[in-house]
């Protein structure tokens, strides 16, 4: 494979991500019902996957440090991404509605582009002596932690905001007196 084709193939995931994000951007202004009770499912599934990955290929102390650093950075970006989501309570149904923020979509694309820009190896480059260099494994440890931290923090932030919105909505409904009964003409 020529170097040009190899480089283009290396950028293919980013191009696919940009296409998917452009497709998702079409619905960015449509609110959808949020089910706060189900926000724990994705973090639990991804947490189990990360646990299995980390236990099946144990890492070194530096690998765990990279993982923890990835979690910390992921928590910061996930919290920010969760803050960017637009939440409101539908007055008729009392359901929390969520709209994706365009900035949150852009954040995902920027992260993917940065990941590609700092990744040292060219796609398709064979590993050294049949093994990937330790730096590549540390990088994957950090990425596993990053995604875990981002998913957990984003979902937690959305859950906390949704809970506060629902509590405020219920308190407001209880504080509002019912409308007076209509007077009947007789």
Q: Which of 17-21, 28-32, 37-41, 128-132 has the lowest mean pLDDT?
A: 128-132
CB distance 83 to 157 below 8 Å? yes
d(CA 13, CA 112): 9
The pLDDT score that the predictor gives to residue 122 is: 45
Inform me whether the pLDDT recorded for 28 exceeds 50. yes
Residue 121 has pLDDT above 70, yes or no: no
Tell me the C-alpha distance between 99 and 58, whole Å: 39
Query: What band does 71 get if pLDDT is binned at 50, 70 and 90?
Result: very high
Backbone angles phi and psi of 88, in degrees to 5: -155, 165
Q: Domain locations in the chain?
A: 3-119+134-170
| pLDDT score for 130 | 52
pLDDT value, residue 49: 83
Q: Which three-class secondary structure state does DSSP give residue 112?
A: helix
pLDDT at residue number 183:
64
129-174: pLDDT as tens digits: 555 566 777 887 888 899 899 989 999 999 999 999 999 988 888 8
118 pLDDT band, cuts 50/70/90, is low
- Of the segments 14-18, 104-108, 139-143, which one has the largest average pLDDT value? 139-143
Which pLDDT value is given to residue 123?
46
* DSSP state, residue 92: T
- So what's the pLDDT on residue 78? 93
pTM for this one?
A: 0.67
What rounded mean pLDDT belongs to the chain? 78
What is the structure's pLDDT at 50? 83
Of 98, 41, 50, 101, the closest CA to residue 74 belongs to: 50
* Residue 107: per-residue pLDDT: 63
Contacts of 22 (CB under 8 A, 6+ apart): none
């Amino acid at each position: 494979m020529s170097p040009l084709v190899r480089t283009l193939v290396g950028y293919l995931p980013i191009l696919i991500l940009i296409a998917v994000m452009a497709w998702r951007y079409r619905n960015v202004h449509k609110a959808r019902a949020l089910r706060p009770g189900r926000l724990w499912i994705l973090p639990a599934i991804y947490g189990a996957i990360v646990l299995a990955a980390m236990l099946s290929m144990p890492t070194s102390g530096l690998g765990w440090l990279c993982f923890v650093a990835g979690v910390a950075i992921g928590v910061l970006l996930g919290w920010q991404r969760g803050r960017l989501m637009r939440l409101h309570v539908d007055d008729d149904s009392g359901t929390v509605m969520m709209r994706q923020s365009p900035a949150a979509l852009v954040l995902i694309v920027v992260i993917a582009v940065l990941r590609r820009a700092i990744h040292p190896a060219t796609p398709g480059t064979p590993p050294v002596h049949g093994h990937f260099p330790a730096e590549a494994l540390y990088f994957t440890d950090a990425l596993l932690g990053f995604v875990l931290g981002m998913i957990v923090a984003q979902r937690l932030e959305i859950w906390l905001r949704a809970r506060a919105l629902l509590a405020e909505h219920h308190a407001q409904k209880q504080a509002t007196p019912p409308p007076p009964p209509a007077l009947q003409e007789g």
